[in-house]
Structure 1
Amino acid sequence: MVTRRRVSTRGAERDGSVVATPTARRRAVRRLTGAVLACGLGVGLTPAVAGASASASAAVDGVVRVNQQGYLAGERKTATLMSSHALSGQGFVVEDRSGRVRLRGTVPASDGAWNSRYRAVQRLDLTALRSPGTYRVVVRGAGVTSGWFPVTRSDDVFRELVTKGVAFDRLQRDGDDLARTVLPRSASHLTDRSAQVYAWPDMEEDSDVITDHDLTPSGGTVDVEGGWFDAGDYLKFTHSAAYADVVLYTSSELLGSAAPAALRQEARYGLGWLSKMWDDRHGVLYLQVGIGSGNEDGTFYGDHDLFRLPQADDTDTSPLDRYVSHRPVFAANRAGQKISPNLVGRVGAAFALAAQADARTDRPRALRELKKAQDLYALAAVDDPPTPLVTALPNAFYPEDTWRDDMQLGAAQIAVAAQRLGKPGGAYVADAARFAKERIAAPGDDTLNLYDVGALADVALADALRTVPGRTVAVDRADLTADLRRQLRLGVRASHEDLFGAPVDIDQFDANSHAFGFITTAALYQRLTGDTRYAGFASDVRTWLMGGDPWGVTAMVGVGTRFPQCIQHQVANLAGSLTGGRDVAVGAVVNGPNGADNFDGGLGGFQDGMRRCTSASDHLDRFDGKGSRFVDDVRSWQTDEPALDMTGAAILAGASSLAAAPRTVPWWVRPWFRPGAALGS
């Protein structure tokens, strides 16, 4: 797993007000860019002891964590009872809204202590509860009651992840082509239509603070208007946007005719911006738009030094904000020179997936998209990749250290696109297989997420091996499915070791996106092989994500009864209602729990212009344990800032899981997904 690093911090001084806030942006280096859902949004944390008598609640301090979004009727179902002392041997029941008991059970032995307050954690098996309805768990002898939860259909659960996730992507749109959302927004950053290209600035080590006195122009102007904001701030990155577009196109392909129209539209929207960032004519790939922080001299500011609605930048005339109102663009390479292969692979994959989607309906456009992918692919620096790999400025925003997975994905998708358009693709299949063999021979410990697309690459190559005629190559379908099993076993092992079934270390960054990645990998593996052995694991992971963690907070805004209330997202904070309870950033997925040491410096003050939002009254800190914390506060970049890739992980998990249900998506949507297909067939 990629080791996350934090960028150094400093105080941002504006108008005489010092804000103690980090100055970097990402999970690894998350910067305070603000944001909030209304403090009154959604319902409060459901008390797990609701309805208990005073004497019982005094005797036992306990809560029951359940899947708030809903369990599927036929899947494995678990709930987790955490209590001040062990309740093994106590009876529990599951009752419906009418009070009728639908399931009885006995609390098992404790698996261990979570923290000094909750010294016993006990997993309750609810699998036998199969009838659709709304239920709650009651441990009557201890006076502990869970919140209500549904048992429902797969379409209800997984389609919600897709539709609400896409809604968040639409909220992230920049430029003039804004999608309809619940938030009042105006066109923003129209000056990006004529943005100046600059040389890479020098920066403080592990920081986005620029040490140069000024930026240095290195080219002309380019049109980079549009695209998506990467996270709660307004920076735009080719690296993460390409991943998001791969996710959207892959999800649309998986769902076929069942794909929501908004999903296809958003994939097309993302590709439009990538087409601007890849200058095929001159062989230049532009890397990012905007800078995080200003310089150490204080002669100019960056995106993270301001807290505002995005359209405010277009009328900002302050000389200090000149690189906010007229944002710089940086290139990943000089014209015609080699490009970091991690970027080439994922951007090329996005163009190739678009070509596949357009092959039957708009052949000329599909051919243009295929050419873009192939021209970009030819510039990959596979013989001499840069160290570190190029991702963003600074690199610490996105400290990626793998590239063969990206190149395998790009080559395989180009091969399939070429085949659909009647062009030769065998050489790309051979390349993809070579990258796969090299990657599999030296596997890391990361799994599907923004930084590692190996699972998607394995499935894409399995598709290419089936559909593209060619020579004998370095790997076969058995090798690829074995690699998927290897990745899944990492999650299964972690889930067995965690008291709540988390598939990752929750004292690390990107817990939620990795967890959604495991759901995707399990679904893709099942469709590729017909093997359902990881279905129960995927169910446990979804429960953990949807309220089954120690804090009882779901990963996605607008899903469940207690979701993040105070996300660090400027548009949600400033354009959202603080009193109406509207789901202003529906579909946003936050980072999730993180290492307690990331909070050693505290949360700092509220930035100028920020609407205060904190869920401190929920006392979530009582559920911190094992070196991890979750803080629902607009200042908590460590746990509470959403991002394109995190939400994309949920979209893909939903789409792949829907595709794994034969009644929802026909087997012919992708031939290699045929249930029960023999390996190597």
Structure 2
Amino acid sequence: MPKLIPCFIGCILGLGINVQPNDHSSGLQPAKAAPDEVIRYNQLGYLTHSPKVAVWASYVNPVPDSFFLCRADDGQCVWKGACSMDFGVYGPFSHTARLDFTDYHIPGTYVLKAGNATTAAFSIDDKVYRGTADFCLQYLRAQQCGFNPVLRDSCHTHDGYTLYGPMPDYTHVDVVGGWHDASDYLRYVTTSATTTYYLLAAYRDFPEVFVDSCQANGLPGKNGIADVLDEARWGLNWLLKMHPQASWMFHQVADDRDHAGFRLPNQDTVSYGFGLERPVYFCTGTPQGLGRYQNHSTGVASIAGKMAACFALGNILFGKQDPAFAQSLRDHAYTVYQLGIEKPGYCQTAPNLAPYYYTEQDWQDDMELGAALLWQMSKQQKFLRDALHDADADPLKPWMGGDTALHYQWYPFFNAAHAELIVHLKQDHLRKNLLGYYRKGIEAVWQKAKHNAYYRGIPFIWCSNNLTAAFAMQCWLYRHLSGDNTYQFLEQACIDWLLGCNPWGSSFIIGLPGSGICPHDPHAAFSHLAHIPIHGGLVDGPVYGSIFHGLIGVHLSKPDSFAAFQSDLAVYHDDWADYSTNEPTLDGTATALYLFAAMEAEGARNNK
């Protein structure tokens, strides 16, 4: 008989799944025959004037002396380059080398050849990222709670009843809306606010790349507003509900009792004991957890700072088109930031049935972000002083350069606040100090990355792809704010990794590119139960083999198409039953969206 296993995955626990008993302790199927040599590359393609590098890899054969870039239509060789040194073992491969054709700039469709390996066709063109940011919005619309445009139906319309608040427990409060966090139906301010900020920032920084094809609720139809701004407002509206008055702030809707198996959100009948109402957790700044387990919260500033940043940036962007909404955001920005001042510390998500939760342990980066945007909004110097103080107190993310970290321990995965200050500061010494923080983190990763052909320096913990996208975002911002191109190849290697230049040769964006190798069987009820594609989602990504092999109840539902490329270093499976590597996440997708918007804008500017 199948048994129910609660899944601990990227974006908390994930979703409980029915698993079959498995006689294979590793959860892997017998390996298929593999090609002797492969070339891994960015399947989406390469900008004409950006780094262009692929990776050749072999199980046994030595590195060839040279490689060839050939036109895809007639096979004509247009570029011959020398392969790099042998970087040696990586994952399942014994020999690896970099194929660098950065100096070739002619747009077109090409293939790479090295030794006995040949790639499929790819493009060199400044338009290769066109539409990719909007493509990611498809996943966010599928995550909408309240009204879901993909289902054209509503869900979780009874949320919810309060816990831990100053009001009596089980008091009804309207918190309908927002986004489901991942493939479960919990909603968290910490990830929703991060998502909202990235959407707002992407529109502010790259408005030219976004289109208007949907209404405010996500249904098809133009409304005169860029879709990314509509989706950001969906997030803002929910965040306002989670801070309904000056002294009230909630941080979570539902808990791990949600993890009762796959079902579509509009068919969710899981009961918490009060009909279809679900619990809404008040921010107390102290440990929470209704069952055997509790988190280790120390304050509320991590939540307050994220909210304040969203409200302040929303005020700036909506000021002209909707003054009343903008004024509400402005008022809420001030009051929620004050809650963070009054209760410094971090607010972790609340467990119940299992000891799994977001273990966020930093908060001054969030208050720095809130203060930086409040400064931009109000021009009040006190917020600048606050922001600079918090920047010096929490300069860089400790995971950078490390081999591991707890789940979401240092979150968000890079500190966007430094960039918000650098852009507006006029004092060179302050700008250099903040840029130095970015550079120190990047250099720590580079010291690990430079020893392998993929330039991989990100630890293979749960949500490794989220870290990869965030780190690439930090590199991009550092490069453009400092003018220092030292780490551009490392930045591009992270982007290429997400789009296919990795040992598995797969993109990690669901459905992108449509003609390439990408996730088609994610851990999600939409696709698994209803066969509704959830294009645009960034999946969790590879995890250490030791993590995967130690998971309880994990299995694969079909033969592993990537069996030949698995290793003790890291595994990835395009299989709905692998909740550790193939679940898309809300905040990871928003990070990728910002990154793709930046790359599309860069390509357009290069083409002028």
Q: TM-score range by the shorter chain?
A: 0.7 to 0.9
| 1:524-539 equivalent positions in 2, closer than 5 A | 524-539=477-492
1:356–1:616 CA distance, 2 compared to 1 (3 A): same
8 Å contact 1:603–1:635 — kept in the other structure? no
- Aligned residue in 2 for 1:597: 546
SS of residue in 2 equivalent to 1:513: helix
Match of 2:141 among 148, 154, 170: 170
Deviation of 1:487 after TM superposition, in Å, equals: 2.0
Q: Give the corresponding residue for 1:502.
A: 456
2:502 paired residue among 549, 569, 587: 549
Task: Tell me the distance in 2 between the aligned counterparts of 1:71 and 1:602.
Answer: 37
Q: How many residues align?
A: 559
1:276, CA displacement in angstroms? 0.7
CA distance in 1, matches of 2:67, 2:278: 59
2:302 maps to 1:342: yes
Matches within 5 A, 1:320-339: 322=273, 325-333=276-284
Is residue 156 of structure 1 aligned with residue 128 of structure 2? yes
1:405-444 mapped onto 2 (5 Å cutoff): 405-419=365-379, 425-440=380-395, 444=398
Kept in 2, the 8 Å contact 1:20–1:605? The answer is: no
Tell me the distance in 1 between the aligned counterparts of 2:62 and 2:274. 60
8 Å contact kept, 1:349–1:411? yes
Letter in 2 for 1:498: N
Partner of 1:21: 5
Counterpart of 2:443 (choices 481, 484, 489) is 489
Residues 38-60 of structure 1: CA deviation (Å, up to 9, x unaligned)? xxxxxxxxxx99xxxxxxx9xx7
Q: How far has the Cα of 1:566 moved from its partner? A: 1.4
Closer, same or farther: CA 464–376 of 1 in aligned 2, 3 Å: farther
Structure 1: gaps of 5 or more residues: 1-16, 36-47, 50-56, 201-215, 293-301, 420-424, 467-471, 578-583, 607-612, 667-681
Q: Give the equivalent residue in structure 2 for 1:576.
A: 531
Offset from partner CA, 1:584-641 (integer Å, 9 cap, x none): 11110011110112222567378xxxxxx846251x1321235211122112111011
Gaps of 5+ in 2: 20-31, 212-225, 287-297, 402-407
What secondary structure is seen at the aligned counterpart in 2 of 1:127?
Answer: coil
Letter of the structure 1 residue corresponding to residue 228 of structure 2: L
* Matched residue SS, 2:422: helix
Instruction: Give a deviation string over 1:435-460, Cα, whole Å, max 9, x none.
Output: 112223x863449x981365310011
SS at match of 1:638: coil
Q: 1:270–1:239: structure 2 CA closer, same or farther, 3 Å change rule?
A: same
**Equivalent AA in structure 1 for residue 547 of structure 2:** N
SS of the residue 2:304 aligns to: helix
Change (3 A) 1:639 1:339: same
1:143 paired to 2:116:
yes
Give the whole-Å Cα distance in 1 for the aligned partners of 2:17 and 2:315: 36
Paired with 1:603 and 1:621, the residues of 2 have a C-alpha distance of 20
Offset, 1:273: 0.6
Match of 1:256?
Answer: 207
Aligned AA (1:284): W
| Offset at residue 67 of structure 1 (A) | 0.8
What amino acid maps onto 1:393 in structure 2? P
Q: Deviations over 1:359-384 (max 9, x none)?
A: 23333332221110111111115665
Seen in structure 2, the aligned counterparts of structure 1 residues 343 and 495 have a Cα distance that, compared at 3 Å, is same
Higher radius of gyration, 1 or 2: 1
Q: Is the 8 A contact 2:16 2:259 kept in 1?
A: yes
1:52-90 deviation digits (Å, cap 9, x = unpaired): xxxxx9xx7111111101111112211111112243344
| 1:301-380 to 2 correspondences below 5 Å | 302-313=257-268, 316=269, 322=273, 325-333=276-284, 340-380=300-340
| Residues 344 and 377 in structure 1, CA contact (< 8 A), matched pair in contact too | yes
Pairwise CA distance, 1:163: 0.8
Structure 1 position 665, deviation (Å): 12
Match of 1:112 in 2: 88
Residues 169-212 of structure 1 deviation map (CA, whole Å, 9 limit, x = unaligned): 11110112x33x4xx442111222xx211349xxxxxxxxxxxx
- Give the root-mean-square deviation of aligned CA atoms: 3.2
Given the two structures, how large is their TM-score scaled by the length of structure 2?
A: 0.84
Distance 1:529 1:489 in 2: 15
**2:52 matches 1:71:** no
Query: Is 1:459 the equivalent of 2:419?
Result: yes
The question of whether the paired residues in 2 share the 8 Å contact of 1:254 and 1:659 is answered with no
Change (3 A) 1:98 1:661: closer
CA distance in 2, matches of 1:658, 1:627: 33
2:195–2:586 Cα contact (<8 Å) kept: yes
**Secondary structure at the residue paired with 2:425?**
helix
Q: Equivalent residue of 2:141, what SS?
A: helix
Structure 1 distance, partners of 2:492, 2:393, is 32
Q: Secondary structure at the match of 1:487?
A: helix
Contact 1:409 1:453 in 2 (8 A): no
In the TM superposition, what is the alpha-carbon distance from 1:538 to its structure 2 partner? 1.7
Between the aligned partners of 1:366 and 1:655, the Cα distance in structure 2 is 25
Q: Secondary structure at the match of 1:99?
A: coil
* CA displacement at 1:543 relative to structure 2: 1.4
Specify whether residues 32 and 106 from structure 1 end up closer, same or farther in structure 2 by C-alpha distance, changes over 3 A only: farther
Cα deviation, residue 333, structure 1 = 2.7
Distance 1:597 1:443, change over 3 A: closer
C-alpha contact 1:136 1:149 (8 A) present in aligned 2:
yes
C-alpha distance after superposition, 1:407-430 (max 9, x if no partner)? 0000110111113xxxxx111111
2:218 counterpart of 1:275: no
CA distance in 2, matches of 1:567, 1:396: 22
DSSP-derived class of the 1:222 partner: coil
Question: What one-letter code is carried by the residue in structure 2 that aligns with 1:500?
Answer: Y
Letter in 1 for 2:580: Q
Relative to structure 1, is the Cα distance of residues 443 and 76 closer, same or farther in structure 2, using a 3 angstrom cutoff?
Answer: closer
Give the AA of the match of 2:41. V
Ranked by relative contact order (alpha carbons within 8 Å, sequence separation 6 or more), the top structure is: 1
For 1:327 and 1:445, locate their aligned partners in 2 and report how far apart those are by CA, in whole Å. Answer: 34
Specify whether residues 512 and 524 from structure 1 end up closer, same or farther in structure 2 by C-alpha distance, changes over 3 A only: same
Equivalents in 2 of 1:130, 1:523: separation in Å?
21
Distance in 2 between residues matched to 1:435 and 1:605, nearest whole Å: 41
Q: What amino acid is aligned across from residue 455 of structure 2 in structure 1? A: G
Cα offsets for 1:456-483 (capped at 9, x unmatched): 10011224434xxxxx99x711111111
1:114 counterpart letter in structure 2: Y
CA distance in 2 between partners of 1:513 and 1:334 (Å): 26
Cα distance in 2 for residues equivalent to 1:414 and 1:621: 50
**Secondary structure, counterpart of 1:376 in structure 2:** helix
Asked whether the equivalents of residues 67 and 547 of structure 1 are also in contact (C-alpha less than 8 Å), the reply is: yes
Identify which of 642, 647, 653 aligns with 2:584.
Answer: 642
Q: Tell me, in whole angstroms, the C-alpha distance in 2 between the residues paired with 1:111 and 1:185.
A: 51
CA distance in 1: counterparts of 2:607 and 2:139, whole angstroms: 24
Q: 1:397 to 1:390 in 2, by over 3 A?
A: closer
- Is the CA contact (8 Å cut-off) linking 2:63 and 2:96 kept in structure 1? no
Which amino acid in structure 2 is aligned with residue 650 of structure 1?
Answer: A
